[in-house]
Structure 1
Amino acid sequence: MSSSSTFIILTFARISAALVALLVLTWALTFKTSFTPHSPFSQQKFIYNVLHPLLMVIGFIIISGEAILVHRWMPGSRNVKKTVHLGMQGVALSCGVFGIWTKFYGNNGIVANFYSLHSWMGLFCVFLFTIQWIMGFLSFWHRGEARRARMTILPWHVFVGLYTYGLAVVTAETGLLEKLTFIQTTRNVSRHGSESVLVNGLGLGLALLSGAVILGAISPRPQQYVTSSAKLRYSNDKY
């Protein structure tokens, strides 16, 4: 992959992330009544409910996606990239855990909220993310690990990381669909109204963002492409 293609992918990923962040902030701050489950308006309930989408989308999905791109494309030594990657993933994990806590704490606890596909997938996703972060720390940051062991774990670390990131995006999409269905049926929100359009746009933005992040993660680096081409030419010349 050329440097220009890499620049386009990374730029598109950052623009998509900024758009998603803007949409979720606009939704939370403009349509406040959609985040209060009961009337009259409760400021405390609003804060807990609005923190959930903000932390899970901006804190969990966007930051973890940026951590993936940083580890893949940020210039500098491997130790620097691993440090930044691990730190950003730790921030994303903290946001995910706290985001789930605000949802459960603000709405009568875990049992009362653990009923939908969205809630099941959310807990499973954060559990996988926690295991992934711990394994990443032990396998790639601990100085005592053997190089062969790290190389053996690397493909699984990449696979589980991308799978968990994709699962987080799918979980967010199910949450948006669940929330939109609820406000359309109980709050008489129009299917063609501004809030419905905004939430659908947010879901589309998440889909575009995830595609850009995953493409950036699996795309070969320019030097890798050159090295592979050189090896191929050498093999053809040899035989």
Structure 2
Amino acid sequence: MATGSVVPLLFLARISGLLVAVLVSIWAISFRSSFHHHSSESSPQEDQGITYSVLHPLFMVIGFILISGEAILIHRWLPGSRSLKKSVHLCLQGVALASGIFGIWTKFHGQKGIVANFYSLHSWMGLICILLFGAQWLVGFLSFWHRGEGRTVRQRVLPWHIFLGLYTYGLAVATAETGLLEKLTFLQTKRNMSKRCPESMVVNSLGLGLAFLSGIVILAAVSPKYQPPQQLWATATQLLPRDE
């Protein structure tokens, strides 16, 4: 059970995650026309393209970033055995991975192919992030179902698994930030959108929300685990020198 100083961090993570979900939903639903590059009259094919373009930020932010962040925090608040926590963590990360893959597919669907869309820093970072995340999930899946490895091997791998997990999560947030900047720059230069219009305010607020959320999630993940006073006293007495 989450106790001590971690509780405020978990609360802030949930509030900021909810804010991010609301902002990306408002942006995707209320400003649908911004996700389509053509200005001609709409056709069924164009309407379908808009739908897939709108699904991209929803699945990448809500499905990939928010769910993977919740999976990171599972060990901080979920009661029960370590096996239960690992299984829930693995399932949530699997949902996040599926959402990320589908989100990338929606971006390329109906366009000129992957190569034509693979040109920006945002796309390069996104591909690297998905590959790292998939490799992390595969390693976690294999280690969960095959526990015959020695204890020392698992202890050596665990710090790297935690580091790569937090690194990939931070990379996902950074990739989302570059995507927001790329889209906002396109709208302001190609469509002469005002820099202080409601859509610009929503996108900038979404970027700030993601930056705040990632900091809270990572801080909660690396914060020392809470120990009750009795356990702290027992640990301290064990460290005291003993008379021979």
Q: 1:7 — aligned with what?
A: 7
1:29 counterpart residue number: 29
Any unmatched runs of 5+ in structure 1? none
Q: Which runs of 5+ in 2 are unaligned?
A: none
Q: How much does 1:108 deviate? A: 1.4
Identity of aligned residues (%): 62
Q: Secondary structure at the match of 1:168?
A: helix
Superposition deviation, residue 228 in structure 1: 5.8
> In structure 2, do the counterparts of structure 1 residues 224 and 185 end up closer, same or farther at CA, with 3 Å as the change threshold?
farther
Matches within 5 A, 1:15-54: 15-39=15-39, 40-41=41-42, 42-54=46-58
User: 2:20–2:210: 8 Å Cα contact kept in structure 1?
Assistant: yes
2:84 equivalent to 1:80: yes
AA matched with 1:193 = C
Find out whether 1:208 has 2:231 as its counterpart.
Answer: no
- Among candidates 75, 85, 107, match of residue 71 of structure 1: 75
1:190 maps to which residue?
A: 194
| Alignment deviations for residues 209-234 of structure 1 (CA, whole Å, 9 cap, x no partner) | 10111011101111289756643454
How far did residue 6 of structure 1 move?
1.4
User: Is the CA contact 2:68–2:92 (under 8 Å) kept in the aligned structure 1?
Assistant: yes
1:111 aligns with 2:136: no
Asked if the contact 1:71–1:84 (Cα under 8 Å) also holds between the matched residues in 2, the reply is no
Q: Which amino acid aligns with 1:103?
A: K
- More helix as a share of residues: 1
Aligned residues between the structures: 238
Name whichever of 96-105 and 142-151 sits farther off. 142-151
| TM-score with structure 1 setting the length | 0.94
What's the Cα RMSD here?
1.8
Deviations 1:92-129 (A, max 9, x none): 00001111111012321101100000000000000000
1:128 paired residue number: 132
225-234 vs 183-192, which deviates more?
225-234
Match of 1:154 in 2: 158
Q: For 1:205, what is the secondary structure of its paired residue?
A: helix
Q: Relative to 1, partners in 2 of residues 1:226 and 1:108: Cα closer, same or farther, differing over 3 Å?
A: farther
CA–CA distance in 2 between the matches of 1:176 and 1:237? 57
Q: Decide which moves more: 134-143 or 76-85.
A: 134-143
Q: Does 1:176 align with 2:180?
A: yes
2:20 and 2:133 map into 1 onto residues whose CA distance is 21
The alpha carbon displacement at 1:72 in A equals 3.3
Question: Which amino acid in the other structure matches residue 91 of structure 2?
Answer: G
**How much does 1:37 deviate?**
1.4
User: 1:159-193: per-residue Cα shift (whole Å, max 9, x none)?
Assistant: 00000000000000000000000001111211011
Bigger radius of gyration: 2
In structure 2, how many angstroms separate the alpha carbons of the residues matched to 1:49 and 1:198? 18
Most deviating of 36-45 and 87-96:
36-45
